[in-house]
């Protein structure tokens, strides 16, 4: 080293010592984390705090949406009325085609034969029929629809009656009446009847009668008493004989209540006596409805000629099944309406359409009040409140 030059050395700063590092140990590198930008698609949430800035004011609350409210209020009522109108419109006129009716009077020709044209609608089948004489007749004719939809006209065979009615006598002033008959000496098993005044009111019941027999003539009598009166009385009496399965009937031909028809001779006497039978009687076919020419015809057995009233009802089975299926569809729709209504209420509040939800709820409350108001109105109307 040259003289005149001073040996000078630059002092170095001491190495830093970190917590946890031993003196004299080599320095460990220090890593400093830097904030990284948020990558799009990362799962870490970003929280933004909205605070009012200087000079800003609170926003006004949203106004109630009356339009949604009235939509929710009137929509359920409109839907129910609409579907009711559609169901009524779909059924209107079709039920009129479900049944067909024929009502007529049939008279005999010169040979005693009866016939009448019957117009049956396409697709219809026989459903019900009735035939009855316009005047009293012993030839009991009737009709029936068979299981295969055919119509038969039949006539009861006249059985041989064992009881022959003879006479009837009634004395109102003394309060007695008597019925005489032949054919059996056995007393009637049951006697029932009524005495009716001229104005149709009930005067007395008849529940029993004394039985007497005249052995010389084999004539039997049913005698009974009632409270004497000067009024004109009419009688309706049935005497049942189980031993012969017969019913001896006595009835007046005039009065306020007429249940039987009388012949000219019976009308002159003022009463009629006849015998009917208990249980099913034998009958035969005397006619039918012929589909080929759509004609109802029958030939009664016997000599009596009288006109008959005929009533026939037809039925469209295919249309009935179609209407039943249609009604089930509409019933299913109406049954689903409450579920749809509840779902609409929940959906409205979940989606924040509170006005619509309150309108739907108000519609149900209004319907309930309207229903009870209608019931109260009916009670006041029929209960004399108005």
User: Chunked in runs of 10, what are the mean pLDDT values of the chain (386 residues)?
Assistant: 50 55 53 51 54 59 81 87 80 74 90 89 88 81 87 88 90 92 85 88 90 86 92 90 89 69 77 85 89 88 86 87 83 86 89 88 87 85 67
Domain stops at, among 253, 277, 301: 277
Domains held by the chain: number: 3
* 53-104 confidence digits (pLDDT tens): 555 556 666 777 888 888 888 988 888 888 888 877 776 666 677 888 889 8
Whether 77 is covered by a domain: the verdict is yes
Per cent of the chain over pLDDT 90 is 21
**Judgement on whether residues 226 and 327 belong to the same structural domain of the protein:** no
> In a 3-state reduction of DSSP, which class is residue 284?
strand
**Judgement on whether residues 273 and 136 belong to the same structural domain of the protein:** no
Cα 371 to Cα 43, 317, 340: the distances in Å are 57, 38, 21
Q: Taking CA 342 as the corner, what is the angle to CA 336 and CA 344, rounded to the nearest 5 degrees?
A: 100
In angstroms, the CA 272 to CA 267 distance is: 8
In angstroms, the CA 262 to CA 266 distance is: 6
Whether 34 is covered by a domain: the verdict is no
Q: Describe the crossing of helices 354-382 and 66-91 by its angle, rounded to 10 degrees.
A: 50
Whether 135 is covered by a domain: the verdict is yes
**Judgement on whether residues 170 and 112 belong to the same structural domain of the protein:** no
> In a 3-state reduction of DSSP, which class is residue 173?
coil
In angstroms, the CA 128 to CA 310 distance is: 11
* 284-331 confidence digits (pLDDT tens): 999 999 878 889 999 998 878 889 999 999 988 888 888 888 888 888
The CATH number given to whatever domain includes residue 171 is 2.60.40
DSSP H or E stretch at residue 106: strand 99-106
Residue range(s) defining the domain that contains residue 88: 73-92+319-382
* Tokens of residue 279, six digits: 């249980």
* 3-class SS shares of the chain: helix, strand, coil, % to 5: 25, 30, 45
Q: Taking CA 247 as the corner, what is the angle to CA 246 and CA 252, rounded to the nearest 5 degrees?
A: 150
**Judgement on whether residues 190 and 269 belong to the same structural domain of the protein:** yes
Whether 11 is covered by a domain: the verdict is no
**Judgement on whether residues 88 and 232 belong to the same structural domain of the protein:** no
Closest alpha carbon to 204 in 233, 174, 167: 233
């Amino acid at each position: 080293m040259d003289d005149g030059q001073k040996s000078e050395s630059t002092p170095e700063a001491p190495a830093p010592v970190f917590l946890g590092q031993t003196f004299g140990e080599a320095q460990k590198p220090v890593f400093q984390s830097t904030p990284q930008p948020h990558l799009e698609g990362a799962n870490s949430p970003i929280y933004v705090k909205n605070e009012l800035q200087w000079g800003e004011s609170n926003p006004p609350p949203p106004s109630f949406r009356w339009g949604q409210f009235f939509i929710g209020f009137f929509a359920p009522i409109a839907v129910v009325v609409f579907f009711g109108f559609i169901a009524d419109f779909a059924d209107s006129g079709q039920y009129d085609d479900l049944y067909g009716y024929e009502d007529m009077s049939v008279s005999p020709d010169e040979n005693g034969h009866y016939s009448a044209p019957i117009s049956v609608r396409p697709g219809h089948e026989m459903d019900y029929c009735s035939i009855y004489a316009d005047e009293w007749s012993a030839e009991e004719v009737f009709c029936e629809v068979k299981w295969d939809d055919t119509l038969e006209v039949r006539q009861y065979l006249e059985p041989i009656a064992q009881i022959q009615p003879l006479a009837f006598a009634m004395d109102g002033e003394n309060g007695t009446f008597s019925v005489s008959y032949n054919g059996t000496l056995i007393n009637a098993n049951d006697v029932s009847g009524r005495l009716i005044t001229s104005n149709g009111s009930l005067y007395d019941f008849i529940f029993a009668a004394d039985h007497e027999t005249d052995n010389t003539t084999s004539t039997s009598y049913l005698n009974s008493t009632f409270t004497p009166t000067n009024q004109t009385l009419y009688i309706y009496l049935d005497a049942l004989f189980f031993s012969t399965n017969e019913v001896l009937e006595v009835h007046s031909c005039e009065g306020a209540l007429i249940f039987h028809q009388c012949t000219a001779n019976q009308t002159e006497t003022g009463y009629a006596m006849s015998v009917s039978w208990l249980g099913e009687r034998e009958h035969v076919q005397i006619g039918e409805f012929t589909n080929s020419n759509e004609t109802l015809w029958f030939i009664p057995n016997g000599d009596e000629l009288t006109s008959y009233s005929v009533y026939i009802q037809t039925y469209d089975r295919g249309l009935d099944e179609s209407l039943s299926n249609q009604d089930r569809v509409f019933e299913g729709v109406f049954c689903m309406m409450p579920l749809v209504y509840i779902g609409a209420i929940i959906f409205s509040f979940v989606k924040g359409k509170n006005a619509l939800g309150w309108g739907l709820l108000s519609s149900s409350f209004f319907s309930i009040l309207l229903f009870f108001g209608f019931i109260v109105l009916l009670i006041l109307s029929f209960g004399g409140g108005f």
